[in-house]
Structure 1
Amino acid sequence: MTRKAVALFSPLPPLRNGIAGYTEAFLPALGDAFDIYAVIDDSAPVPAIARPTLTMTEYRHYDASFAGAGHLYQLGNNPDHVYMLPAMAARPGLTTVHDLSLHHLFDLSLRRGADGRSYRDLMFECYGAKGEALVDDQRRGNGRSAAHYTELSFLPWVVRHSIGTVTHSRTGRLRLTALPPHKPVFVLPHPYHERASPYIGDRYGARLRARAQLGLVSEDVQILALGFVTRSKRLDLVLEALAAVRRSGRRAHLIVVGELRPEEYDLVADIERLDLASHVTLRGYVHSDDMFAYLAACDILVNLRYPSVGETSGALCNGIAIGCCSLVTDIGAFAELPDDVSLKIPIDEMNAEGVTWRLQSLIDKPDLRRFYERNAAAMGERVLDLDRVAEQYVAMIEKTLFPVAASAPGWSAPVASLPKIARRRIEDQAAALAQRMAPERAVGTMWWRELYLPLGGAGRLAVISDNALAARLARESFGWTEGLEALSIEAFLAGDDGERAEIALLDLEASDFMGRFDAWMDGCRRRLPMGALLIVNLRSDEMAEAAHPERLALEAGMARFGFQIRHYSNHFSEIVTAGAAVPAAAVESSVIAVRGSDACFAGGNLLDQHFVGFAPLPALDIAR
């Protein structure tokens, strides 16, 4: 049986990148399940892995050979990941999102950074007119605040250019699930690396061995900070706390393992200011084997974050598996840790005093440290075991990149969708059409403003509306020059089946649709085959969301007729009326549903296949 080919985009060791080590840990399990082809940046060092490796240039050379391969992307917020963005745009795959804000990454990926047109277009694609307004404000001299980097994550672009996403936390799942077009989101625990294994099981013995290996002979309580030294890790507070601890007569020593970033935070200056030179050891970047030894050797692992963009710390996960007593900030993914695994500092106590008294408590109470150590080790064994997590990851890849074909007959031709940046052009076209046609009745806008209708070119589209403008927009703005059938409400409800369509767009008054719900849904069932898309745009002149159906009620009602809702929106909008787009006291709802049965949905999310243009193909023999 031919093995499935997978192109894996990720930094790899010896690159100094935590995600490189993360990916390396998965390679044996991935190699057992698939034919893995690692794709690295042209400038990256050659990785020492027993897998075929291609540079990005080589991947482009063999581009046709990878047309049927699955694609995996390990995406982080640093320069090592810029090279994979064009591949994501061309061939969406399963993307592991390691950082929940990628603003810095996209800054680096644009030729002129935040000063160019591409940045403005990207802000519009992700955040609409408000994104453009922020860029204009920035260019008037107001600059960018820290909130740009924490809140404007550019995750909408990532979701749009992925078949599915993987995150390490419930925090990540909430953020990614909220983004249209609502692709599958998986939560995968961050496993510990196999190099941590020699230090797992005997906490006391592992600590002694590691200290002997590293030459640590001091009897001081050893506090460890691990990873790139950035401002958000709040080592300024840790140094203030260490100074207070030393003044109180307690014996403690801080070891900082990781590259310094003096342009972001001058750690050395703070050490000198607080007269801590003899109580702080700076190790800089160390080999990964030594990194695990430092985790085993420490008494307290400090892993603070503020602000946080929802990231998960690989160093902390390795420390938990080894059985480290850890001190963390009660925020984002860190807040999801059980209270008996890590000691947490609330956000409103993230100051020198809050860090100091907690460090003093851990220093003074060895039994408390052992309490956290035992519970951490148990969590590592139960949740973070590499073999168990790798098995879950392989299952996610199979489900997302190589879904089993639906058992029920139906339409499965891939359909492309417009990028969000096209909305400006469509708004101009809609305004021009409305000016020429001067419709007497209001026309819904949400379905075309949010680009819910796929591009024309495959299959047939039925447009049912009380206004001819909807069909004109579909034809002229979405490319449905062929295969479009415009039906009046009366013709549709009269039972004139006509030709079956793969997509149906209903642009209706909410009261009409809900008042004759069974008739409408029965007509859709007769006209749409298995796997077809149903887009329902409902509008109302009432200034209340109560005028529109709730999602749960719609789900139950549509399920009776064999439709499964994949997306539901309900918000105040504008109405095109009297020849112009004007604000109106109106509410619109949009529903996207798939026609099928339980058997049809067992093969994966058909809607996602339509919107990203992905059709499962057999693996090819890849040119090496």
Structure 2
Amino acid sequence: MKIAYFSPLNPLKSGISDYSEQLLKYLQNHFEIDIFVDDFTPENKFINENFKIFDYIKDPSLLEKLKEYDHIVYNIGNNPHYHSNMYDVFLKYNGVIILHDFVLYFLITGYYLETLNSEKLFLNEMVYNDEINGEKRAMKILSSSINPLQFDKPHEIPLNKRLINSAKAIIVHSDYARNKVLEINPAANCIKINQIGPDIASRDYYKELKKVYRKKYGIKEDEVLISSFGYVSPTKRIDKVLEALASSKDKRFKYLLVGEGDYIDSLIKKYGLEEIVIKTGFTDLIEFDDLIACSDIVVNLRYPYMGETSATMIRALCLGKPTIVSNIGWFSEIDDASVIKIEVDNYEVENLKKCLSKLLDDSNYKESLGQQAKIYAEKYLDSHVIAKNFYEFLNSNKESLEIKVASNLGVQLYNLDLIESHTTIDRLAKTINVLMQE
């Protein structure tokens, strides 16, 4: 089976880049895969040596090849800089979506206002997604002094209806996301396939690594290393973690923030945590994974929630790390014995403080939680099983020759402005398919 695979890849700084590079290693055992990129050169040696890579921005004619594939797979996330060109291709050549974020406000807003530079099309899209309030909300966003891409309530306007209605199939990583997709379109062909985890090195390797990184970041041997990972943004609730740590009388720990972002710098100073908090800035994936392995406790909170899973959480589970998460969305689906869950409410900071204190004081509890996390990962996050699930799902959705011919005809009519949307292409293809079989 031949697959056209669209995704950001490193050097683009995205968890989806890391996800795809890991997934492709296992999918290649089941499919013949060509990778389509938009104006960048992948830096991963394995990717470059094992796949054909086509840059469709430098050579748009390459998109004509898409009719030769059994499936076109698009990795869609909420970053307009990494996904707008891909989304534009999807609108003309719809296919299978791996939906990494349920909320796509930033992607769709960036696509219409920046890529297409059209307030009118943005307004139309808002109305398409919300016939009652869409126009009013669009006008409010467009008339605001705040850049639409800095809108602070994107979770209230997911802007994903067109993608969900148009995709031939949708793969999500949580029951939460699948249920939300089906709320929008009950007939959507949507399946949950678990997020893929990293390959785990030997215990001895990580034991030696721990010494190296503790020395690098000035962490004493008897200090507990608490860590949070990824872009340091308000949605990660780092301000709440700092508040909990500041009120703790026990300071036998260091708090490592692995990622870029400075919104909490003033809080570090306010709470007098300059000697406790260590910021690494951006790290490559190798060091990112290594620092999860070297951590004693991981804190991975979320709110507002965009319907995503967490690559950090997947890695923490695979590495057997005791982790505290927000009891929301996908995080709430993880087995209760494998993580500590806290509610996002008025008692969040106090509950976080209690959970951290218990982990700091009770080494047996901390070890047991880590062991349960690893058991969960071994049961649900096996890379070979996940790749097989992809194969079975895509194979079961392989189109007939008639559907492919009809769909390709629909695309040509769309490009000639003879039909108004890619949704019409799907309806046309199905109608022609029936006629061809009579």
Q: Which amino acid aligns with 1:375?
A: Q
Contact 1:165/1:185 (CA < 8 Å) preserved in 2? yes
Q: Counterparts of 1:2-21 in structure 2 under 5 Å?
A: 4-21=1-18
Contact 2:94/2:166 (CA < 8 Å) preserved in 1? yes
The answer to whether the aligner puts 1:210 opposite 2:209 as a matched pair is yes
The CA distance in 2 between the partners of 1:57 and 1:219, in whole Å, is 53
Structure 1 residue 126 displacement after superposition: 2.0
Larger radius of gyration: 1
How far does the alpha carbon of each residue in 1:475-509 deviate from its partner, in whole angstroms, 9 at most, with x for none? Answer: xxxxxxxxxxxxxxxxxxxxxxxxxxx69xxxxxx
Partner residue, 2:124: 121
Aligned length in residues = 416
Partner residue, 2:66: 66
Q: Which amino acid aligns with 1:31?
A: Q
Contact 1:103/1:148 (CA < 8 Å) preserved in 2? no
Contact 1:320/1:377 (CA < 8 Å) preserved in 2? yes
Partner residue, 2:394: 397
The CA distance in 2 between the partners of 1:17 and 1:176, in whole Å, is 23
Secondary structure, counterpart of 2:94 in structure 1: coil
Q: Counterparts of 1:252-267 in structure 2 under 5 Å?
A: 252-260=253-261, 262=262, 266-267=263-264
**Structure 1 292/182 Cα, relative in aligned 2: closer, same or farther at 3 Å?**
same
362-371 or 175-184, larger mean C-alpha shift: 175-184
Contact 1:120/1:132 (CA < 8 Å) preserved in 2? yes
The CA distance in 1 between the partners of 2:20 and 2:94, in whole Å, is 19
33-42 or 223-232, larger mean C-alpha shift: 33-42
**Structure 1 155/120 Cα, relative in aligned 2: closer, same or farther at 3 Å?**
same
Secondary structure, counterpart of 1:107 in structure 2: helix
Q: Counterparts of 1:559-598 in structure 2 under 5 Å?
A: none
The CA distance in 2 between the partners of 1:238 and 1:30, in whole Å, is 38
Alignment identity in percent? 23
**Structure 1 221/46 Cα, relative in aligned 2: closer, same or farther at 3 Å?**
closer
The CA distance in 2 between the partners of 1:416 and 1:56, in whole Å, is 21
Structure 1 residue 301 displacement after superposition: 0.4
**Structure 1 349/390 Cα, relative in aligned 2: closer, same or farther at 3 Å?**
farther
Gaps of 5+ in 1: 420-424, 426-449, 461-501, 504-528, 532-624
Structure 1 residue 286 displacement after superposition: 1.4
Contact 1:15/1:44 (CA < 8 Å) preserved in 2? no
The CA distance in 2 between the partners of 1:300 and 1:75, in whole Å, is 31
Structure 1 residue 314 displacement after superposition: 0.7
**Structure 1 334/320 Cα, relative in aligned 2: closer, same or farther at 3 Å?**
same
Contact 2:54/2:62 (CA < 8 Å) preserved in 1? no
Q: Counterparts of 1:63-462 in structure 2 under 5 Å?
A: 63-69=63-69, 70-78=71-79, 79-112=81-114, 116-139=119-142, 141=144, 148-180=153-185, 182-194=187-199, 197-199=200-202, 202=203, 208-214=207-213, 215=215, 216-245=219-248, 248-260=249-261, 262=262, 266-349=263-346, 351-400=348-397, 402-403=398-399, 454=427
Structure 1 residue 249 displacement after superposition: 3.2
How far does the alpha carbon of each residue in 1:74-122 deviate from its partner, in whole angstroms, 9 at most, with x for none? Answer: 1111121122011111111111111111101112212458971111011
The CA distance in 2 between the partners of 1:151 and 1:168, in whole Å, is 21
Q: Which amino acid aligns with 1:180?
A: N
Structure 1 residue 399 displacement after superposition: 2.0
Secondary structure, counterpart of 1:290 in structure 2: helix
Contact 1:296/1:322 (CA < 8 Å) preserved in 2? yes
How far does the alpha carbon of each residue in 1:514-547 deviate from its partner, in whole angstroms, 9 at most, with x for none? Answer: xxxxxxxxxxxxxxx999xxxxxxxxxxxxxxxx
Contact 2:56/2:62 (CA < 8 Å) preserved in 1? no
The answer to whether the aligner puts 1:54 opposite 2:54 as a matched pair is yes
The CA distance in 2 between the partners of 1:243 and 1:43, in whole Å, is 43
**Structure 1 93/54 Cα, relative in aligned 2: closer, same or farther at 3 Å?**
same
Structure 1 residue 46 displacement after superposition: 4.9
The CA distance in 2 between the partners of 1:120 and 1:67, in whole Å, is 32
**Structure 1 84/405 Cα, relative in aligned 2: closer, same or farther at 3 Å?**
closer
**Structure 1 191/65 Cα, relative in aligned 2: closer, same or farther at 3 Å?**
closer
Gaps of 5+ in 2: 415-419
**Structure 1 383/454 Cα, relative in aligned 2: closer, same or farther at 3 Å?**
closer
Structure 1 residue 350 displacement after superposition: 5.3
The CA distance in 2 between the partners of 1:164 and 1:242, in whole Å, is 44
Secondary structure, counterpart of 2:345 in structure 1: helix
Q: Which amino acid aligns with 2:64?
A: A
Give the number of the structure whose residues are more often helix, by fraction.
2
Q: TM-score, normalised by structure 2?
A: 0.86
Contact 1:7/1:37 (CA < 8 Å) preserved in 2? yes
The CA distance in 1 between the partners of 2:384 and 2:183, in whole Å, is 30
Give the number of the structure whose residues are more often strand, by fraction.
1
Structure 1 residue 379 displacement after superposition: 0.6
The CA distance in 1 between the partners of 2:143 and 2:401, in whole Å, is 53
Q: Which amino acid aligns with 2:255?
A: L
Partner residue, 2:417: none
Structure 1 residue 352 displacement after superposition: 2.4
Secondary structure, counterpart of 1:348 in structure 2: coil
Secondary structure, counterpart of 1:110 in structure 2: helix
Secondary structure, counterpart of 2:306 in structure 1: coil
The CA distance in 1 between the partners of 2:320 and 2:142, in whole Å, is 49
Contact 1:416/1:454 (CA < 8 Å) preserved in 2? no
The CA distance in 2 between the partners of 1:83 and 1:350, in whole Å, is 43
Q: Which amino acid aligns with 2:175?
A: R
Partner residue, 1:608: none
**Structure 1 371/454 Cα, relative in aligned 2: closer, same or farther at 3 Å?**
same
